[in-house]
Chain A
Amino acid sequence: AQKITQTQPGMFVQEKEAVTLDCTYDTSDPSYGLFWYKQPSSGEMIFLIYQGSYDQQNATEGRYSLNFQKARKSANLVISASQLGDSAMYFCAMRGGLYGQNFVFGPGTRLSVLP
């Protein structure tokens, strides 16, 4: 079975500073995909970044980067230069098997960016 753990129910960060959102995972699949999604108060799920289990380099997408430590089974999201619009719920998710279809989501972290 797959499991995602996010130990930070809420985080605060000052505008323009960087913040790290923690995510650890557990799976017996040799290959898997790790994702981060942003959910603003309106509810839609916005894809942020993806890391494949066989990817050698950490994924980056603009201000988002994923700190992937396979041996520790962690996939932390780093947001640089936080903006007020970054305030939202952030979910770490896994898709089992490299081509697995459904997602297993973590409990989420609510990020609040302070002006």
Chain B
Amino acid sequence: GAVVSQHPSRVICKSGTSVKIECRSLDFQATTMFWYRQFPKQSLMLMATSNEGSKATYEQGVEKDKFLINHASLTLSTLTVTSAHPEDSSFYICSARDQTLDPTWEGYTFGSGTRLTVV
């Protein structure tokens, strides 16, 4: 089945530094990937939609200058948290779809997530 690899699984960084999270589709091409954020004991909230070769679409309230998304190839999207602060500490998870599969329900695969802690 479709596999999405997300790296790193955990990262601790100092306040003010930047952190890059990678999301790779391993055995399929994904023109679109999605980035979600999950605060402790809360649900997943869509942050942005990453489109290969074009600018990402951000959800309302998400700072595009803070959360930089690059989708330079059909198998890789990256999320960079710039000038991270403790309030950015969260679980970030990506999702991608294998477009060769049934579009109604199949092929949407989530990465294993990245737990970011900013100290």
Q: Interface on A for B, CB 8 Å cutoff?
A: 33, 35, 37, 42-45, 47, 50, 52, 91, 98-99, 101-108
Contact = CB atoms under 8 A, between A and B. Distances in A.
Contact of A105 (B32, B43, B105, B112): B43
A99 B46 contact: no
Given A44-B110, A44-B113, A108-B43, A33 B95 contact: no
B67 interface: no
Contacts, number: 52
Interface residues of B, number: 22
Given A43-B113, A52-B105, A91-B43, 13 more contacts: A43-B91, A43-B93, A43-B112, A44-B113, A45-B110, A47-B108, A47-B109, A50-B105, A91-B44, A98-B104, A101-B49, A106-B43, A108-B43
B115 interface: yes
B43 A107 contact: yes
Provide the main secondary structure of the chain B interface. strand
A42 B95 contact: no
B95 A103 contact: yes
B34 to A, nearest CB: 5
Nearest to B42: A107
A52 B105 CA distance: 8
